[in-house]
Amino acid sequence: MNLDFKIKNLLLICLIFLGVFNQYNSQTGNIDSFKTGADQPEVYLPLLEGKTIGVVTNQTGLMSDKTHLVDFLVKNGIKIKSIFAPEHGFRGEADAGEKVKNGVDVKTGIPIISLYGNNKKPKPEQLKGIDLIVFDIQDVGVRFYTYISTLTYLMEAGAENNVEVMVLDRPNPHDGYIDGPVLKKKWTSFVGMHQVPVVYGLTIGEYGKMVNGEKWLKNGVQVKYTLVPMKDYHKKQRYAILDRPSPNLPNDKSINLYPSLCFFEGTQVSVGRGTDLPFQIYGSPWTTNLPYQFTPKPNFGAKDPFLNGKLCYGENLSEYPNDLRELNLEWLIKAYKSYKNPQSDFFLSNLFFDKLSGTDELRKQIMAGKSFSEIKESWQSDLAQFEKIRTKYVVYQD
């Protein structure tokens, strides 16, 4: 009897181990067989042959062996007329909001056209002679990160000038959940073009499908849109990013915290631009009761950082758990309550905060002393409405 019991226990342990092992195996198997759109040339090269193309990309347009997409296409005889560079430039070295100049790619001799500053949307003359534009950029999956706006303007220009758009899809580091206030039309800007939440739970390829399908382009036009989907991608799985999406998002930690901390860009609080921990710390000279101290100084990612040279008091979140799967307002609310500066309001006078939020409600809720849970509850109805739209365009299952 005792022996039977031991044998049964042993069998049970073996079954549990096998179950866990197989589950682990299937997860690592997914990662091993995972491919971005760019890593499936057998899908897109035949669609590009014989065509004159443009490419919208930056330093993140890499294949798994770190070959840049532009170099790969040139090597394979694809005729590229122009490279279009978004915010931060083709090589990703420009500060946020810095003017990106037109030029020529030294390596390939291909002209570079900036899609930032005064030329966010390609002009008809810039598209002349181009049959198709390939878009390949690592996005962050957050509404105020401007690459989805660049894609929107590109699609609009493509529709108006009879130029096809092809998106080579990449992972969204904030996929598998939606969160934050949904933008109200009145607050439409380059940091928020559509009525979506801050975290919208779609890859950039799915997002483009939604913009096209919902007729959100100007005058309801639709572009000929081709999505090269990823292989074995799962929305709640996290994938390694081959290069930083922009100078001040240097690692996974900063990307994870970005939806929560970017709101500070509309306040008198620094998010660590001009330090070694951008978007991993926050603080200001007027929140002196907070424990962490830092002083922003010019560096590679910020030539003239906000609060340059001023001692700031705040918090260091660089050790915050890596599995953040929500937009956390606790830090914003804490900084607001700690802020003591009779000369300047916490929120910048240009109300850029409202553009980031996509509404003036969040600012008013914070000023009224609402708790994080109360504010979060106020988003739920709009999030439920957005989810009905979102589900129509999901290519990869949650």
Q: Which two tokens stand for residue 63?
A: 């294949």
Question: Whose CA is closest to 282, among 339, 332, 214?
Answer: 332
Residue 272 phi, psi (nearest 5): 90, 10
Classify residue 260 by burial, with Cβ atoms within 10 Å: 0-12, 13-18, 19+: buried
The angle formed by the CA atoms of residues 194, 200 and 206, to the nearest 5 degrees, is 85
pLDDT value at residue 325? 81
**Cβ count within 10 A of residue 213:** 13
Cα(first)–Cα(last) distance of the chain, in Å?
Answer: 47
Helices (H) and strands (E) in the chain, counts: 11, 12
Residue 294: enclosing H or E segment and its boundaries? strand 292-294
Domains, the chain? 41-240 (3.40.50.12170), 252-367 (no CATH)
pLDDT value at residue 4? 52
Mean pLDDT in order along the chain per 10 residues (398 residues):
48 41 34 91 98 96 96 97 84 54 82 89 97 98 97 98 98 96 97 98 98 98 98 94 91 95 98 98 98 96 95 96 84 98 97 98 98 98 98 92
pLDDT value at residue 19? 41
pLDDT value at residue 15? 42
**Distance, CA of 219 to CA of 300 (rounded, Å):** 41
Write down the residue that tokens 């979140």 correspond to: 317
Q: Which two tokens stand for residue 395?
A: 């290519």
**Distance, CA of 273 to CA of 323 (rounded, Å):** 23
Q: Which two tokens stand for residue 341?
A: 């500066």
Question: Whose CA is closest to 393, among 187, 175, 161?
Answer: 175
pLDDT value at residue 161? 98
Report yes or no on whether pTM surpasses 0.75: yes
Report which DSSP code applies to 31: H
Hey, is 38 helix, strand or coil?
A: coil
